[in-house]
Amino acid sequence: MYPKETPSQTAGPYVHIGLTPNFVGIHGIYDQDLGASPIADGAKGEVVTITGTVRDGAGMVMRDALIETWQADAAGIYPSNDPRGVADPNVSGWARIVADFDSGEWTLRTVKPGRVPAPDGRLMAPHISLWIVARGINIGLQTRLHFEDADNDGCPVLARIEQSDRVATLMAKKTGPSDYRFNIILQGIGETVFFDL
Amino acid sequence: MGHPAGGRNDARNPLIARDRDWHPAPLAPGYKTSVTRAPQRPLVAMPTTLSEQTGPAFGHGLIGELDNNLILNFTGQPAIGERIIVHGRVTDENGRGVSGTLVEAWQANAGGRYRHKKDGYLAPLDPNFGGCGRTITAEDGSYEFLTIRPGAYPWPNRVNDWRPMHIHLSLFGSGFGQRLITQLYFEGDPLIARCPIVHTIGQDKAIQSLIAPLDMNRAIPMDCLAYRFDVVLRGRRQTVFENRMEGM
């Protein structure tokens, strides 16, 4: 028999102690918190700022959510272990974002990712993968952020969403020349699409 | 052929699907916060792509000398409590060690108090205990922490709910789709059976896999006890097609 995957448990309300200790005032253990930015100065591509909130099924903005993001560079190559090539050295691709304790707003500054092929070779629309944990979430939620002004037609992953009106929940809305808004709703009306992948 | 499973060179291989009946249910009413934080719509199923089969890498250079020593890493003076080693191996579902992957840990102090502004429990902070640590797995997937055993603590769920002693662990693997956060419990703790967070998991065998047994072989006489906690991350399928592409 094969060993079973270790079961998930909630990250709990104090997840920041472990993952972003400096953010909650625990200084001196690590020089800085990991994942402050998925890009460094000089990264190729269009730099955009994405802001948003995470809401629960009662419509409350969650102030204890933690989001990690993973994305390709502007050419569609993933940093660190993409078998197709070497990514832009100024793109690490990974970020760890904490919602503000007062407003619940989170912000991601990054480059727009290029297209990446699905296993069958068709190109997926530009997207950023998101993993969301918090108190009350028993297993991390996986979703994707797309851009409403990109060419999203023909994306084989978006095409899997049977109720096509739900595709809109994955679209970051353009709010300025290089600004987008992406609100995540865990439950209820306008519920964000989450994947079992 | 020839990709070491769990290594960084196998990003073409799809991840094995998660068994979501083995993992906790998203909606588990005994854990009250999950009621409004669980999606109501079914998850949209899809095979993994490069977006999930690749993931961030963290070099050994990231790790400071005391990063995995929670007894000393906050002020350099020892924290108060029961000194323990927590160690184990990180493997994948094919049983192979996952090397070079980041493991992060966080926990309450010996009295059950977290160093976090939202924790108002009356047990005092330990001035020499921060409560976090990290390490990177060795070639065979092994890892270890030196820490103090955390205390149980009350939480506002039902009127008299207490969390068992536990340490939170966060793991990466080599693909973003392997990302996992879990909790380690301690053998023999009577609070495990009463905890609604533990019982978000339906299958008893799955719960048992989160309980670290006492490991006297690794204890250091007159110094510290030890607990063993092995972690299994999602594995990768190795298809005939992929094998032919890669080397035959």
**What digits encode the pLDDT tens for the residues B15-58?**
999 999 999 999 999 999 999 999 999 999 999 999 999 999 99
CA pair distance B149, B154, nearest whole angstrom: 16
| Residue B60 pLDDT grade (very low, low, confident, very high; cuts 50, 70, 90) | confident
pLDDT the model gives residue B6: 45
ipTM above 0.95, yes or no: yes
Say yes or no for a CB contact (<8 Å) between B179 and A140: yes
CA pair distance A141, A130, nearest whole angstrom: 8
Average pLDDT over residues B109-113: 98
CA pair distance B171, B119, nearest whole angstrom: 24
| B157: Cβ contacts below 8 Å, ≥ 6 apart | B31, B32, B33, B196
**What digits encode the pLDDT tens for the residues B202-216?**
999 999 999 999 999
Asked if residue B180 lies in contact with residue B171, where contact means CB atoms within 8 angstroms, the answer is yes
Say yes or no for a CB contact (<8 Å) between B11 and A81: yes
Of A82, A139, A140, the CB nearest to B50: A82
CA pair distance B36, A188, nearest whole angstrom: 9
Kindly state the tokens that stand for A60. 């409350």
Residue carrying the six token digits 């727009």 = A112
Average pLDDT over residues B104-111: 98
**What digits encode the pLDDT tens for the residues A38-81?**
999 999 999 999 999 999 999 999 999 999 999 999 999 999 88
**What digits encode the pLDDT tens for the residues A139-156?**
999 999 999 999 999 999
Kindly state the tokens that stand for B155. 């939480």
Closest CA to B157 of B37, B35, B33, B24: B33
Q: Does residue B82 surpass a pLDDT of 80? A: yes
Instruction: Enter the pTM of the model.
Output: 0.95
pLDDT the model gives residue B239: 64
C-alpha distances in Å from residue A59, one per residue of B36, B37, B102, B230? 9, 10, 35, 39
- Which one of A22, A29, A115 would you mutate to disrupt binding with B, by most B Cβ within 10 Å of its Cβ? A29
Q: A 118-177 residues with CB below 8 A of B?
A: 118-119, 124, 127, 129, 131, 133-142, 144, 157, 160-162, 166
CA pair distance B91, B68, nearest whole angstrom: 19
CA pair distance A175, A137, nearest whole angstrom: 29
Q: Does residue B248 surpass a pLDDT of 70? A: no
**What digits encode the pLDDT tens for the residues A85-123?**
999 999 999 999 999 999 999 999 999 999 999 999 999
**A79-83 long-range contacts, CB within 8 A, separation 24+:** A79/B54, A79/B56, A80/B8, A80/B54, A80/B55, A80/B56, A80/B57, A81/B8, A81/B9, A81/B11, A81/B54, A81/B55, A81/B57, A81/B174, A82/B11, A82/B50, A82/B54, A83/B9, A83/B11, A83/B12
